[in-house]
Amino acid sequence: RTHAAMPRAWVSRSQSRPPASAAPTTSAPPARRLKTMAGRLLERLEFPDAWAGWLPFAWAAVRDRRFDVVLATLPPPTDALIGAALASRVGAKLVLDYRDPWTETLSVDGRYGHDRAVPQLEIDLQRSLEARTLARADLVQGVTPRIVRWLSARTAAKVEFLPNGLDEPPPEPPLPRATPARLVYAGSLAYARSLGPVLTALHLLRLHLPVQLRHLGDTAIPRAGQRHLGELQQGTHGFG
* SS (HEC) of the chain: CCCCCCHHHHHHHHHHCCCCCCCCCCCCHHHHHHHHHHHHHHHHHCCCCCCCCHHHHHHHHCCCCCCCEEEEEECCHHHHHHHHHHHHHHCCEEEEEECCCCCCCCECCCCCCCCCECCHHHHHHHHHHHHHHHHHCCEEEECCHHHHHHHHCCCCCEEEECCCCCCCCCCCCCCCCCCCEEEEEECCCCCCCCCHHHHHHHHHHCCCCCEEEEEECCCCCCHHHHHHHCCCCCCCCCCC
Is it the case that residue 233 has pLDDT exceeding 80?
A: no
Which tops the pLDDT comparison, 63 or 98?
98
Q: What is the pLDDT of residues 45-63, one digit of tens each?
A: 778 888 888 888 888 888 8
**What is the distance between the alpha carbons of residues 116 and 107, in angstroms, rounded to a whole number?**
8
β-bridge partners, 216: 186
How many angstroms from the chain centroid is the CA of residue 73? 10
The count of residues in the chain is 240
Name the pTM for this structure. 0.68
Is it the case that residue 18 has pLDDT exceeding 70?
A: no
The pLDDT value recorded for residue 211 is 75
Is it the case that residue 219 has pLDDT exceeding 80?
A: no
Give me the chain's average pLDDT, please.
76
The pLDDT value recorded for residue 226 is 53
**What is the distance between the alpha carbons of residues 172 and 199, in angstroms, rounded to a whole number?**
30
Which tops the pLDDT comparison, 143 or 238?
143
Q: What is the pLDDT of residues 154-185, one digit of tens each?
A: 999 999 999 887 777 777 777 677 677 777 77
Q: N- to C-terminal Cα distance for the chain?
A: 33
Is it the case that residue 20 has pLDDT exceeding 60?
A: no
The pLDDT value recorded for residue 177 is 72
Which tops the pLDDT comparison, 87 or 180?
87
